[in-house]
């Protein structure tokens, strides 16, 4: 299996992580994630940052507290809950050294492909779902304050 590169255009926040350090207020001297009451980076048995953050958003913003993934209809209910939140996590850079993104919209052009972009239609779509408010609600729920002043379009790459 080979490696390939992708271009990503996303609307949201770059939270950092990995080798670049966390790009949030309260990060440590070397870019460490500030203390959060819902995530322990030293817990080797627990979920990683993204999984823990997604779980927090599902329980706090969407009221989805189910844990039995084998229950009939579980994944349908989980998908509906994620849709209600209106934002998601994505990563850029590489799978070995991820930079975390909290986004309301993402477009990816995989290696060798192009992607047409209709910015007026995207702006209308984001306004219709109040993407900025959903991003702020997610950040408040997570207790994160990005150093990036506001949500914006970000061009990123992914190699993996």
* pLDDT tens-digit readout, 37-68: 999 988 877 789 999 999 999 999 999 999 99
Q: Which domain holds residue 74?
A: 5-159
Rounded mean pLDDT, 98-112: 95
Kindly calculate the radius of gyration of the chain based on its CA atoms and give it in whole angstroms: 16
User: What local confidence, expressed as pLDDT, does residue 2 receive?
Assistant: 62
Average pLDDT over the chain, rounded to an integer: 94
CA atoms within 13 A on the CB side of 11: 20
Residue 1 has pLDDT above 60, yes or no: no
* Structure tokens belonging to residue 152: 């914006």
* pLDDT tens-digit readout, 109-150: 999 999 999 999 999 999 999 999 999 999 999 999 999 999
Nearest of 10, 19, 31, 18 to residue 153 by alpha carbon? 10
Number of domains in the chain: 1
Residue 79 has pLDDT above 70, yes or no: yes
CA atoms within 13 A on the CB side of 24: 24
Rounded mean pLDDT, 12-24: 93
């Amino acid at each position: 299996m080979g490696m390939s590169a992708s271009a990503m255009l996303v609307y949201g926040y770059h939270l950092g992580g990995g080798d670049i350090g966390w790009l949030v207020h309260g990060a440590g001297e070397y870019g460490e994630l500030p203390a959060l009451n819902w995530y322990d980076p030293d817990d080797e048995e627990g979920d990683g940052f993204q999984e823990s953050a997604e779980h927090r958003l599902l329980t706090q913003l969407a009221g989805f507290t189910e844990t039995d993934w084998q229950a009939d209809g579980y994944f349908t209910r989980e998908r509906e809950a994620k849709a209600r939140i209106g934002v998601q996590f994505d990563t850029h850079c590489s799978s070995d050294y991820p930079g975390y993104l909290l986004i309301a919209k993402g477009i990816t052009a995989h290696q060798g492909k192009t992607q047409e972009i209709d910015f007026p239609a995207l702006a209308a779509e984001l306004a219709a779902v109040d993407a900025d408010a959903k991003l702020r609600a997610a950040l408040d729920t997570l207790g994160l304050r990005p150093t990036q002043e506001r949500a914006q379009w970000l061009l990123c790459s992914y190699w993996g």
